[in-house]
């Protein structure tokens, strides 16, 4: 191994150590590379949150519709612009009506209704500083207790906050979790 090879190897090792050293600092540019901070001193922790559940349901309404009778004459045209004779209000507007009435039919109309079907407890994974997750036996000193679930739908006005005790909902459904973007 000649001198040039030895110097190149040492230079490369130094650069790599610089990269790993820089990684512990804030995200920064190092030459042409983008270097991200080390996250080995952090952990992800599941935080229970309560979310409202939406559910669609069908409803059927009954609706009366007119099935007009057709006519060969153009008498119905007279209805447009017809002025009422105040002496005969009951028959006002009936002069131009066809002899055959339209039929009324009741039909079913399907409606889709979006509504809230309740609440469910799910998890969000949050990043915090520290190592280990044991909390029952004291575990790591860096461990902090997980926050209690707070219903997202419950908004407490600032002024009333002192009067209303925070509502705690225990997790009841364990179907899914989401990893929050940090």
Interface ranges with another protein (CB under 8 A): 57-60, 65, 67-72, 76-77, 79, 98, 102-103, 105, 107-110, 113, 155, 157, 159-160
Of the pair 78, 128, the CB lying nearest another protein is at 78
Minimum distance from residue 90 beta carbon to another protein (Å): 22
CB of 169 to another protein, least distance (A): 18
Closest CB to another protein among 118 and 132?
118
- 3-state SS string over the chain? CCHHHHHHHHHHHHHHHHHHHHHCCCCEEECCEEECCCCCCEEEEEEEEEEEEEEEEEEEEEEEEEECCCCCCCHHHHHCCCCCCHHHCCCCCCCCCCCCCCEEEEEEEEEEEEEEEEEEEEEEEEEEECCCCCCCCCCCCCCCCCCCCCECCCCCCCCCCCCCCCCCCCCCCCCCEEECCC
CB-nearer residue toward another protein: 110 or 141: 110
CB of 74 to another protein, least distance (A): 8
- Minimum CB distance to another protein, residue 67 (Å): 5
Nearer to another protein, 72 or 81 (CB): 72
Nearer to another protein, 46 or 76 (CB): 76
Q: How far is the CB of 174 from another protein (least distance, A)?
A: 26
């Amino acid at each position: 191994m000649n001198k040039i090879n030895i110097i190149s190897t040492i230079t490369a090792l130094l650069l790599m150590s610089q990269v790993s050293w820089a990684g512990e600092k804030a995200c920064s540019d190092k030459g042409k590379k983008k270097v991200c901070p080390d996250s080995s001193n952090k952990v992800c922790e599941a935080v229970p949150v309560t979310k409202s559940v939406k559910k669609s349901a069908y409803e059927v309404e009954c609706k009366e519709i007119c099935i007009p009778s057709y006519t060969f004459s153009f008498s119905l045209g007279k209805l447009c612009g017809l002025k009422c004779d105040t002496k005969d209000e009951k028959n006002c507007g009936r002069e131009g009506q066809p002899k055959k009435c339209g039929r009324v039919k009741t039909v079913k109309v399907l409606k889709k209704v979006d509504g809230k079907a309740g609440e469910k407890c799910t998890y969000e994974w949050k990043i915090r500083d520290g190592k280990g997750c044991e909390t029952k036996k004291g575990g790591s000193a860096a461990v902090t207790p997980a926050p209690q679930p707070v219903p997202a739908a419950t908004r407490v006005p600032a002024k009333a906050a002192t009067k209303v005790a925070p509502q705690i909902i225990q997790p009841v459904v364990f179907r899914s979790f989401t990893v929050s973007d940090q």
